[in-house]
Amino acid sequence: MTQTQFFDRRRFFAKVVCFFVAGVSSLFLSNSQMLWAQLPQTIVYAVSPSGGQKGQTFELKVTNGKDLEKLDSLWFSHAGITAVPKMQESNGKKTPVVNTFLVTIGKDVPAGVYDIRAHGLYGLSNPRSFVVSDMKEKAEVEPNNQIKQATPMELNSVVNAALQGATDIDYFSFTGKKGEKVSIDCRAARIDSPMVAIVEVYGPDQRRLASERDTFRSDPYVNLTLPLDGTYHVKVYDLTYSGGAQHIYRLSVHKKPHIEFIIPPSGTPGTTSNYTLYGYNLPGGKVSNLSIGKEPLQEVQVQIALPAKPKTLQMGEQGFSYEVSSDGFPYVWETPAGSSNPVTIFYAEGKIVQDEQNIEEKLALPGEFVGQFEAKNDVDMFRFTGKAKEKYSIEVYGQRNGMVMDPVIVVDQVIKDKEGKETFKRLASVGATSVFPDLGGKLFDTRSDDPYYILTAPADGEYRVTIRDLQFETRGNPQMVYRAIVRQPKPDYRLVALPLYPQAVNTGGGPAAIALRKGDCFKISVMALRQDGFNETIDLSVKGLPPGVSCKAASIGAGKNNTEMIIQADETAKKWSGQIEIVGHAAGADAKKLERVARAATVLRPVANNVRAESRIARSLGLSVIDEVAPYQVVADVKEVNVNQGRQILVPVKVVKRTGFDNAVALAWNGIPKNSNITIQNKTIAKGKQDELFQIFVKNNANPGVYTTYLQSTVDVSYRRNPGQVDEAKKEQAELTKRLTEAQAALAAATKTRDALTKAKGKTPEQMKAEQAKAAQEVKAATDRVKAADAAKKAADKRVAAAEKAAAPKKIKVYAPSTPLVIRVNPAPVTLALSVPGGGALKKGATIDVKATVKRINGFKGPVELILPLPPGVKGVTAGTVQIPADKTEVTFPIKASAEATEGDLANLVVQAKADFQGKALVDAPIKLKVTK
């Protein structure tokens, strides 16, 4: 067995680029330094071990992360996995061992992959993968860099290991018998490790039997029929020989069932059906006619009951970002020989038809055709019946099934003559079309190589669809299972929610959970994956928020795919952590509401050297409120406005300043596209000031739609890190100082007693000797207590100094968003133009006659009313209401300044046109006036 050609090239090239451009030693260091210049929040990069055996309790440590102070609990995505801090005796008290927990996995927890999060002083962390197995587990024993130092393993066991540093190589050994079928599975990418693992297997005669990478979902998997009795060795290393605290992996050597793929890979929700599992060591299985490399696959039929939740996604293994549009659930085959690896079974649309060799299947619509490119030059065909001028969407799930392939759709019209002879008219040949655009930028890649095509049938009759791989002439593999779905367009959508690390806009994000301080705001990127031309506005809300935490408003406008939600915590919010859901509501084609819960996403490693971040689908969306007050909060008093084209929006903005903060705050609007024809006003709220009025102007030619926007702040704050630690350290210092004083006093008393015995009278020599010996022992014991108390007090003094140093004020750059503003732009009935004489010069007590011209648009033909609303800060300028009849377009609009009128250039002044058009409609035209004495 040699290195496979079927690997995820995107991850491979990203690894190589980062290695050569940045250097192994500096790659993650540079990114972690970038992330340090923020207010702290708990981030976890690695835990050890990264999994455990069901029914067991074991020690787990958070081994790598950021802002890990006072970790007090672990949270798992399955309630049957629990953890408590490991305790130790310290100065007569039980205290938790730093970052260390005792984890218990219930006997009923299914084998599979879950999320683990840590909670500490700075909130709930990002998720990391955690594996539950039914095999014995142990830790790697270093050193094992040479074959003679190999860590021994039993069959049907797992070793938790790590590449400790650059160039680290690990060896393991196991004993096997000739003819045994053994699987060697290395989980690295599947547990969020940056390691691109390579596994080599050597026989008792030291001959290399296999060398694999990226054979199963970006990780190496080897299946061997052992050729000899004896000791076998497994060598594990990284593709670029990199290593470090995050380069963790799990190596298992077992004879348990391993599933490579399932046929069909999907089923109808809420049904129980027969499925064929293909893989190795399948109890009751028979040898199939398919093989991967030289090892034939086994097959076995099982019945599987599918949940009745067709619009949800729970992945079996780690979910790649481009798989996020699929619907499915995790499946593990439980057998007397043990649990299989977890796989994902997808939810089908309509009846499933499986490919049969040399037969063109007929597909009833909506329907799903299941096939695989098991060999080179494999081409599959099926037919369906269409009606003239009807539309049909043809979509292939290949790469989005987790398989490495690049499917191509070819569509032909079947034309029959009077004798029934068939000819074919080519209508389309479609390769990778990016079913969904690049919604997540460099943070979450939603693109795939799967094709999508909308066919408008030119006539009644049959249509033939041919499916092949783009590289079908050079590759084929039974793993390349696909689903081809044909339906009349069914507009729908899915949502993805990605917490954004607090930093400057358009920079490489990092791992993050939704962590809020009291009086704080946090951004979440929400992406809409629109299906079959779905183009409605999606209104967003949040379920499960604790008291004091809210989300004012957020929407994804028609035709748009992205927005950023802002979660807000009041100053009254209590410390909290838990799970929330982001829910979308939109009108479907049948006027019924489509409610969709967003799939969670997480960044594993940040953007580096212009290479995309590594991200995956998360199993939940976690939120926490940190027991600390944010230094400031930007609040936009307006949360939602419904306006026509040609409108001014004035937004009062307040910066709530706390904990002595009083710096200038630079604010810039985000979320409004450049081509929207909406002008924005960015400002800095000066030091010593809290309020400012911001102007947004929706131009006459602004694109109708929904826009969710917010103000992004950029501020330097003086921040004290964990000042409570200083108080705790000083309290302990005071207790130990008191203990030292008491010990010193006890020593002085014991010494005095001992010395007094030399002057004692009336006692026999034996009595004197015994009492003096006892007094000497008491002096020695007291001296020992003084030494221990003094050492403890000195250690406490050091902890106080370290805490004070850590809590010393430091300048930190903070990027906090404001509360959001949703702008709904509707078509306008008119445009309004003003002609202002004299450049708008207006003396107090005088009147200026402004010529107003309206142009009726969008089918409006009615009358228009003009008024002069005064913006905040302007007084004494008035105008009467002026009517423009339906048959007129121009009018004179007199504006008068009283003796008390505001002097100078009048900011944010508009003339407003009112009309009855799809309800009340308002249109503004800016006017420049300068009032003088």
Last residue of a domain, one of 204, 226, 254: 254
Q: Is residue 6 part of a domain?
A: no
Considering its fold, how many domains does the chain have in total?
A: 7
Q: Same domain, yes or no, for 662 and 809? A: yes
Q: Same domain, yes or no, for 150 and 212? A: yes
807 contacts: CB under 8 Å, gap ≥ 6: 720, 721, 722, 723, 725, 726
Q: Is residue 377 part of a domain?
A: yes
Q: Same domain, yes or no, for 332 and 371? A: no
Q: Report whether 398 contacts 449 (CB < 8 A).
A: yes
Whichever domain contains 58, its CATH number is 2.60.40
pLDDT value at 11 more than 60: no
Q: Give per-residue pLDDT as tens, 669-690.
A: 999 988 899 999 999 999 999 9
Token readout for 295 is: 């090892």
Token readout for 653 is: 């903005």
pLDDT value at 874 more than 90: yes
Residues 157, 116, 547: CA angle, nearest 5 degrees:
160
Residues 596-619 have a mean pLDDT of: 92
Q: Is residue 99 part of a domain?
A: yes
User: Helix count (H) and strand count (E) of the chain?
Assistant: 4, 72
Q: Is residue 129 part of a domain?
A: yes
Q: Which residues constitute the domain of residue 614?
A: 498-630
Distance CA(704)–CA(61), nearest Å, equals 53
Please state, rounded to an integer, the average pLDDT across all residues of the chain.
92
Q: Picking from 24-28, 173-177, 330-334, 910-914, which range would have the lowest pLDDT averaged per residue?
A: 24-28
Q: Judging by DSSP bridges, how do beta strands 367-372 and 351-354 pair with one another?
A: parallel
Q: Judging by DSSP bridges, how do beta strands 647-657 and 221-225 pair with one another?
A: unpaired
Q: Is residue 26 part of a domain?
A: no
Q: Same domain, yes or no, for 816 and 677? A: yes
pLDDT value at 101 more than 90: yes
Residues 576-587 have a mean pLDDT of: 96
Q: Is residue 116 part of a domain?
A: yes
Q: Same domain, yes or no, for 579 and 504? A: yes
Burial environment of residue 585 by CB neighbours within 10 A (0 to 12, 13 to 18, 19 or more): middle
Q: Is residue 221 part of a domain?
A: yes
Whichever domain contains 192, its CATH number is 2.60.120.380
Q: Same domain, yes or no, for 274 and 303? A: yes
Look at residues 34, 5, 206, 3 and name the one whose alpha carbon lies nearest to residue 608. Answer: 34
Confidence at 506, pLDDT banded by 50, 70, 90: low
Q: Same domain, yes or no, for 276 and 319? A: yes
Distance CA(171)–CA(26), nearest Å, equals 26
Distance CA(126)–CA(45), nearest Å, equals 9
Q: Same domain, yes or no, for 761 and 730? A: yes
Place of tokens 């940045």: 22
506 contacts: CB under 8 Å, gap ≥ 6: none
Q: Same domain, yes or no, for 835 and 909? A: yes
> Alpha-carbon Rg of the chain, whole angstroms?
35
Q: Give per-residue pLDDT as tens, 330-360.
A: 999 999 999 999 999 999 989 999 998 778 9
Q: Find the largest Cα–Cα distance for the chain.
A: 140
pLDDT value at 55 more than 70: yes
864-867 β-sheet, strand order: 882-884, 864-867, 910-916, 920-926
Q: Report whether 572 contacts 625 (CB < 8 A).
A: no
At residue 775, the pLDDT reads 87
Q: Is residue 556 part of a domain?
A: yes
Q: Picking from 154-158, 493-497, 761-765, which range would have the lowest pLDDT averaged per residue?
A: 761-765
Whichever domain contains 358, its CATH number is 2.60.120.1220
pLDDT value at 31 more than 80: no
Last residue of a domain, one of 801, 826, 851: 826
What percent of the chain has a predicted confidence (pLDDT) above 90? 84
pLDDT value at 261 more than 80: yes
At residue 456, the pLDDT reads 98
Q: Same domain, yes or no, for 778 and 856? A: no
pLDDT value at 18 more than 60: no
Look at residues 407, 381, 404 and name the one whose alpha carbon lies nearest to residue 478. Answer: 404
At residue 226, the pLDDT reads 97
At residue 434, the pLDDT reads 66
* Coil, helix or strand at residue 473: coil
At residue 37, the pLDDT reads 54
Q: Same domain, yes or no, for 770 and 662? A: yes
Q: Picking from 3-17, 198-212, 633-647, 885-899, which range would have the lowest pLDDT averaged per residue?
A: 3-17
Last residue of a domain, one of 238, 254, 270: 254
Q: Same domain, yes or no, for 385 and 475? A: yes
Residues 272-279 have a mean pLDDT of: 97
